[in-house]
Amino acid sequence: MKESIYTIPISEVFEPKCGCPICALYNQLETRWVEYITGAAMMEPDVRVETNKQGFCLEHFEMMLAQRNRLSVALVLQTRLAHVDETLIKKPEKRSLFAKPPEPVVESSCFVCAQINREFFRIGDNIASLWGRDSDFKALYSEQEFLCLPHYRALSDAAYKALKPTEAEIFVAESARLTRNKLKKIKADVDSFCNLFDYRNAGKTAPPPEVSGAIEAAIEYLLGEALTDEQKG
């Protein structure tokens, strides 16, 4: 796929100043890859070879089905199933009599996950480097609503690789400020939710939405990904 993380202008992802920009970038990449798999990839034999080998996780199969192109999904499944059939039986490896039994095989690979992880490998370096050399982006970075906890940690680790020590410390401090913005709010909402169950608050008016959804918001902040409706219950 010619489209890659390096062709997505990083500043554009930060311009909305809404939510965690790194989560937004991940979602953008995810959507592009899913659209690509159910579209142009149908005509690229080398891509089909890889999708036949790796398959897809449940989440990305669901996203592919949501594209409303069931024929594309069926074609992907057709050649994937053929590959599974061809490689189903493998000759056992020669093992010592006292060797540890092999681990059970679990189908967990996913072509889309692999592509995103490959492209996301250097995103932290790119963001930190851009912050270090572009004053406009530095100002834009400071205006973000928040950073989720996993992406704050990833950016902090990247900063010490991409920037000089003094610059990295400033970048990490600014990133910590952004992630603490959300942390303070979530902590307060979770506290308020827990207080709902205090007998002294019995019979009071219904809590605001941010308090009712405090558990889900906290989990999303800590994990860096949104819960599905089914997970939210």
User: pLDDT, tens digit, for every residue of 158-203?
Assistant: 999 999 999 999 999 999 999 998 999 999 999 999 998 887 877 7
- What is the model's pLDDT at position 40? 80
What is the extent of the structural domain holding 72? 14-85+108-121
184 within some domain = no
Query: For residue 175, how many other CB atoms are within 10 A of its CB?
Result: 24
Do you know the residue count of the chain? 233
CA angle (25, 63, 217) in 5-degree steps = 55
Instruction: Output 118 or 113, whichever has higher pLDDT.
Output: 113
Using CA atoms, how far residue 204 sits from 188, 200, 215, in Å, is: 18, 9, 20
Q: Residue 15's pLDDT band (boundaries 50, 70, 90)?
A: very high
- What is the model's pLDDT at position 199? 78
Rounded mean pLDDT of 6-18?
81
pLDDT higher than threshold 90 for residue 17: yes
Using CA atoms, how far residue 159 sits from 91, 130, 175, 177, 178, in Å, is: 47, 11, 10, 15, 15
User: pLDDT, tens digit, for every residue of 36-55?
Assistant: 988 888 788 888 899 999 99
User: pLDDT, tens digit, for every residue of 51-93?
Assistant: 999 999 999 999 999 998 899 999 999 999 999 999 887 766 6
- What is the model's pLDDT at position 232? 55
Give how many domains the chain has, as a whole number: 1
- What is the model's pLDDT at position 216? 93
DSSP string, 128-186: HHHHHH-HHHHHHHHT-S---HHHHHHHHHHHHHHS-HHHHHHHHHHHHHHHHHHHHHH
Q: Cα(37)–Cα(20) distance, rounded to whole angstroms?
A: 26
Q: Cα(73)–Cα(88) distance, rounded to whole angstroms?
A: 22
- What is the model's pLDDT at position 100? 62
- What is the model's pLDDT at position 170? 97
214 within some domain = no
Instruction: Output 149 or 102, whichever has higher pLDDT.
Output: 149
Give the rounded percent of residues in the chain with a pLDDT score beyond 90. Answer: 58
User: pLDDT, tens digit, for every residue of 23-34?
Assistant: 999 888 899 899
64 within some domain = yes
Instruction: Output 207 or 142, whichever has higher pLDDT.
Output: 142
Rounded mean pLDDT of 91-116?
68
Backbone torsion region of residue 189, taken as left when φ is above 0, otherwise alpha when ψ lies between -120 and 50, otherwise beta:
alpha
CA Rg, the chain, in Å? 23
Classify residue 229 by its DSSP letter: H
Cα of first residue to Cα of last residue in the chain, in angstroms, is 37
Q: Residue 4's pLDDT band (boundaries 50, 70, 90)?
A: very low
208 within some domain = no
100 within some domain = no
Q: Which amino acid is at 96?
A: S
168 within some domain = no
202 within some domain = no
75 within some domain = yes
Q: Residue 121's pLDDT band (boundaries 50, 70, 90)?
A: confident
Q: Taking all residues of the chain, what is their mean pLDDT, rounded to a whole number?
A: 85
pLDDT higher than threshold 90 for residue 105: no
